[in-house]
Structure 1
Amino acid sequence: MPLSIKDRETDRLARELANATGESLTTAVATALSERLERVRGL
């Protein structure tokens, strides 16, 4: 299922993260979302 990012700053951040980690854009976004969700849930 596709995810469309329409905010330029969010797109830039996602690409910067993927570039810095050497991960694909999909992996970088998925990992970031997973880690944030863990923090929000207090795990």
Structure 2
Amino acid sequence: MRPPYYTWNNVIGVLQDLQYSFARMLYQAEQLPDVLQQEVI
């Protein structure tokens, strides 16, 4: 079931946001590996 405001533009925007967040997370993981392990575990 898709919400009425569901559009391809929203999907692309969300994917870009996730990609940016994931890239930033990986960057922080390289800087602070211990913190990332604590969050994952």
TM-score, normalised on structure 2? 0.46
Which one has the largest radius of gyration?
2
Q: Relative CO higher for 1 or 2, CA cutoff 8 Å, sep ≥ 6?
A: 1
